[in-house]
C-alpha cells in the first residue's frame, strides 16, 4: 500500500502513473537524449575478402632412378640446399665403363680402316662398296659408344633444379629399381600460395593482383602477386582457385603451411565510411540519424562495401555531416539530442 509517499510491505508496487513516466523513451522525459556522433571525412576504402590458403613449392619432385642399379655413393646430406646439377647418387658403372673402353679401342680401329679405304677408293684401289661398308662399321661403333655414354649419365643422378632436399630414402649398397624414391626436392624461392575465392569475386582477381597473407602462428603480413588462376569454377564448391607468388629468399616459408589470405578486390578514393551501428534498417531500406540544429534528422542512405566495424555509404550523406552513432534506438525523428562525444 502507498501511504504518505512511502511503500508499505503489503503493497510494494509503485503507482501506475509513476511507472508509466519512467517507461517513456529518454527523448520524451523532458530533456535531450545523450548520444555520440561522428563527423564524416573522405578517405580511401578497400573491398577486401579473407580466405584460407596454403603454401606450395614453386617446383617439387621426388628424385628417382630411371635405370636399375646398386648405389655406390650417396653424395648429398639430408635437409640441405643444393644447386641445379649437383651430384646426388652414383650407381654402379663398372661394367658400363668396361664396355666403353672396349668400344673406344674398336672405334679407333674401325675409323682407321675407314680412312685408309677412303684413300684407296680415291685412287681407285678399292670399290665404293668396300669403302661404304668400312665407313658404316665405324659409324656403328660411334653410335654404340654414344649409347654407353647415355647409360653412364643415367647412373649419375643429379638435382634438376635449385632447392631444398628432404629425408634420404636409400643407403649405399641399396639396389634401386626404376621409380624407387631417393629423396624429395622442393624449390622454395619463390614460394607459391594457393587459395580459392567465391565465384562472384572471380572476375575481380586476375593475374597481377596483389594479395597479402599471414602464416599460422605469425602476425607478420607478407605480400604476393597472383600469377595464375584455374580455367574453370569448381562445380562442387562454386569457388575459383588461384595461385600467387611470393619472394622467399631465406627459405623460411615452408610448403604446406596454412595461410590466411587477404584479397583486395576494389579500391575507392574519397569514400564515406561510418560505423555499422549507425545504420538503422527500415521497411524502405536503410537510414541514419544526422545531427542538425540540436535535433536528430533521419536520412535515407545506400551502402556499399563493409570493412569490419565500418560500412561505406554511397548515397545520402556528404562530407562534414554529423552522424549519430549511439542511442539511435531511443530517439525519434526530430527529437532533441545532446551530443556528448564527437569522433573525428
Residue 165: pLDDT band with limits 50, 70, 90: very high
Residues 8-20, mean pLDDT to the nearest whole number: 47
Please report, for the chain, the start and end positions of each structural domain, with discontinuous segments joined by +: 23-41+279-343, 49-58+186-267, 67-182
Contact 8, 1 (CB under 8 A): yes
The residue written with cell numbers 648405389 in the block is 71
Measured CA to CA, the distance from residue 246 to residue 210 in angstroms comes to 10
Query: For 274-295, how does the pLDDT look when each residue is reduced to its tens digit (9 = 90+)?
Result: 888 888 888 888 999 999 988 8
- Rounded to whole angstroms, what are the CA distances from 267 to 51, 202, 211? 18, 16, 13
pLDDT higher than 50, residue 23: no
What is the DSSP annotation of 204-232?
Answer: G--TT-EEEEEETT----EEEEEEEE-SS
Mean pLDDT estimate for the chain: 84
The CATH classification of domain 49-58+186-267, taken from the options 2.40.30.170, 1.10.730.10, 3.30.465.10, 3.20.20.70: 2.40.30.170
Q: What is the CATH number of domain 67-182?
A: 2.40.50.100
Residue 39's nearest CA partner among 304, 278, 267, 268 is 278
Report yes or no: 274 and 261 within 8 Å, Cβ to Cβ: no
The dihedral through the CA atoms of 120, 125, 129, 134 has a sign that is negative
Residue 126, pLDDT above cutoff 80: no
CATH of 23-41+279-343, one of 1.20.120.420, 2.40.100.10, 3.30.70.100, 2.40.420.20: 2.40.420.20
How far is residue 19's CA from residue 286's CA, in Å, rounded to a whole number? 33
Exposure letters 282-312 (e unless 16+ CB within 10 A, then b): eeeebbbbbbeeebbbbbebebbbeeeebbb
Host H or E run for residue 160:
none
Please state the pTM of the whole predicted model. Answer: 0.62
52 beta partners: 260
Looking at the DSSP bridge assignments, the partners of residue 134 are: none
Amino acid at each position: 500500500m502507498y501511504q504518505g509517499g512511502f511503500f508499505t510491505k503489503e503493497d510494494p508496487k509503485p503507482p501506475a502513473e509513476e511507472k508509466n513516466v519512467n517507461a517513456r523513451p529518454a527523448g520524451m522525459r523532458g530533456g535531450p537524449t545523450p548520444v555520440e556522433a561522428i563527423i564524416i571525412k573522405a578517405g580511401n576504402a578497400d573491398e577486401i575478402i579473407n580466405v584460407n590458403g596454403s603454401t606450395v613449392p614453386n617446383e617439387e619432385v621426388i628424385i628417382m632412378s630411371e635405370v636399375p642399379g646398386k648405389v655406390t655413393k650417396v653424395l648429398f646430406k639430408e635437409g640441405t640446399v643444393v644447386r641445379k646439377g649437383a651430384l646426388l647418387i652414383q650407381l654402379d658403372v663398372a661394367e658400363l665403363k668396361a664396355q666403353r673402353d672396349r668400344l673406344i679401342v674398336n672405334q679407333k680401329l674401325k675409323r682407321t680402316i675407314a680412312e685408309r679405304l677412303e684413300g684407296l677408293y680415291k685412287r681407285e684401289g678399292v670399290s665404293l662398296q668396300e669403302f661404304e661398308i668400312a665407313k658404316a662399321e665405324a659409324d656403328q661403333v660411334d653410335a654404340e659408344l654414344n649409347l654407353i655414354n647415355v647409360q653412364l649419365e643415367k647412373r649419375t643422378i643429379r638435382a634438376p633444379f635449385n632447392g631444398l632436399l628432404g629425408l634420404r630414402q636409400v643407403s649405399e649398397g641399396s639396389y634401386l629399381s626404376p621409380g624407387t624414391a631417393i629423396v624429395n626436392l622442393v624449390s622454395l624461392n619463390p614460394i607459391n600460395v594457393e587459395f580459392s575465392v567465391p565465384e562472384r569475386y572471380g572476375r575481380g582477381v586476375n593475374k597481377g593482383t596483389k594479395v597479402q597473407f599471414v602464416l599460422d602462428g605469425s602476425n607478420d603480413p607478407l605480400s604476393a602477386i597472383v600469377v595464375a588462376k584455374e580455367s574453370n569454377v569448381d562445380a562442387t564448391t562454386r569457388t575459383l582457385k588461384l595461385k600467387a607468388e611470393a619472394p622467399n629468399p631465406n627459405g623460411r616459408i615452408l610448403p604446406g603451411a596454412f595461410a590466411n589470405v587477404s584479397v583486395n578486390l576494389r579500391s575507392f578514393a574519397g569514400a564515406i565510411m561510418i560505423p555499422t551501428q549507425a545504420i538503422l534498417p527500415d521497411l524502405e531500406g536503410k537510414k541514419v540519424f544526422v545531427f542538425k540544429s540540436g535535433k536528430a534528422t533521419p536520412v535515407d542512405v545506400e551502402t556499399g562495401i563493409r570493412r569490419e566495424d565500418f560500412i561505406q555509404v554511397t548515397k545520402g550523406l556528404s562530407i562534414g555531416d554529423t552522424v549519430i552513432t549511439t542511442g539511435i534506438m531511443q530517439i525519434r525523428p526530430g527529437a532533441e539530442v545532446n551530443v556528448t562525444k564527437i569522433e573525428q
